[in-house]
């Protein structure tokens, strides 16, 4: 505990930041939270606060105060959180409304006990945007001796997501789960519809395309699109041994 007060302690802590980070990564209380952008979030700890504590402060990163409770009164500091946060002094919980990706950080709750000792807890908050609905693009489909060569791509703009492809009844094997589905299907495992699910840890969206017959191009309407909502456009794709056929990009 510094003899020159809270601000002097904070300045000293900032000077010794690399060392304190090394120590708190081993001894500190660190909780990870992942939430969706636009939601309301509660930052709290799983244990009771020290009895009759003197002061409680929430920090954004290691040096920016959000709110401080002292002498039965809460003081909210000028920051991007002002008007979006509320402190519950009894539990120490910090309520933040409408979080955005810019709110990603480590939040620190520091408590000054009546003994003069300090205790702190850290919460690492990650805010993710919900994933958009994917676009399925039919790159190539080809009938090969009663088997079906299929290449589909699942496209979303600039996102780090997980991909899961499904046929009519079950997901495809794990080794095929990426943004492009490329496989050769035999008659016993043909599917009429193919679904791409994109997901992150807070949301998921599906796109589906249905073909009829499963791997045969007819003279008319070679692609049967079930439940399409929106626009679709075609680019040329040549079928082996046959005329040029359209391949379609579908927005669902």
Stretch 60-85: mean pLDDT, rounded? 92
User: What is the C-alpha to C-alpha distance for residues 180 and 149, in angstroms, rounded to an integer?
Assistant: 13
- Position 216 scores a pLDDT of 53
The strand ranges marked E within the chain are 29-36, 41-43, 55-60, 64-70, 73-76, 85-87, 94-96, 105-112, 118-128, 135-144, 147-155, 162-166, 180-185, 193-199, 204-210, 232-238, 244-251
pLDDT at 244 > cutoff 70: no
The alpha carbon of 204 is separated from its chain's Cα centroid by a whole number of angstroms, namely: 9
Domain boundaries, the chain: 6-128, 135-251
In 3D space, the residue among 8, 7, 114, 122 whose CA is nearest the CA of residue 53 turns out to be 114
Domain 135-251 has CATH 2.60.40.10: yes
Mean pLDDT on 192-202: 91
Q: Which tokens hold the place of 62?
A: 């290691």
Q: CA-CA distance, 225 to 177, in Å (whole number)?
A: 23
Distance CA 189, CA 173 (A): 13
Tens-place pLDDT, residues 119-175: 999 999 999 999 999 999 989 888 888 788 889 999 888 678 899 999 887 888 888
Could you report the per-residue pLDDT of 83-118, keeping only the tens digit for each? 999 999 999 999 999 999 999 999 999 999 989 999
Do 162 and 204 meet the contact criterion of CB atoms below 8 Å apart? no
86 vs 191 pLDDT, higher one: 86
pTM above 0.85, yes or no: no
List Cβ neighbours of 6 (8 Å cut-off, separation of 6 or more): 55, 112
Q: Is the dihedral of CA 62, 63, 67, 70 positive or negative?
A: positive
pLDDT of residue 239 exceeding 80, the answer is no
Mean pLDDT of the chain: 76
Helix axes 17-27, 6-15, angle to 10 degrees: 90
Let me know if the fold of 6-128 is the same as that of 135-251. yes
Query: What CATH number belongs to 6-128?
Result: 2.60.40.10
**DSSP class of 240:** T
């Amino acid at each position: 505990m510094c003899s020159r007060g809270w601000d002097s302690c904070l300045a000293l802590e900032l000077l010794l930041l690399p060392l304190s980070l090394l120590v708190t990564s081993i001894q500190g209380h660190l909780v990870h939270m992942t939430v969706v952008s636009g939601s309301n979030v509660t930052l709290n700890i799983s244990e009771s606060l020290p009895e009759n504590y003197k002061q409680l402060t929430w920090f954004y990163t290691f040096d920016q105060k959000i709110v401080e409770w002292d002498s039965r009164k809460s003081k909210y500091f000028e920051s991007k959180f002002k008007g979006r946060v509320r402190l519950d002094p009894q539990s120490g919980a910090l309520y933040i409304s409408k979080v955005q990706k810019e709110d990603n950080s480590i939040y620190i709750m520091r408590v000054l006990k009546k003994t003069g000792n300090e205790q702190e807890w850290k919460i690492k908050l990650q805010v993710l945007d919900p994933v958009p609905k994917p676009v399925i693009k039919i790159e190539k489909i080809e009938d090969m001796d009663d088997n079906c060569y299929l290449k589909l791509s699942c496209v979303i703009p600039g996102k780090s997501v997980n991909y899961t492809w499904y046929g009519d009844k079950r997901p495809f094997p794990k080794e095929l789960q990426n943004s492009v589905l490329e496989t050769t299907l035999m008659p016993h495992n043909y599917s009429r519809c193919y679904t791409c699910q994109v997901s992150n840890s807070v949301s998921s969206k599906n796109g589906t395309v249905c073909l009829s017959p499963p791997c045969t191009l007819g003279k008319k309407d070679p692609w049967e699109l079930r439940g399409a909502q929106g626009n679709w456009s075609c680019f040329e794709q040549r079928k082996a041994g046959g005329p040029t056929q359209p391949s379609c990009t579908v927005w669902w």
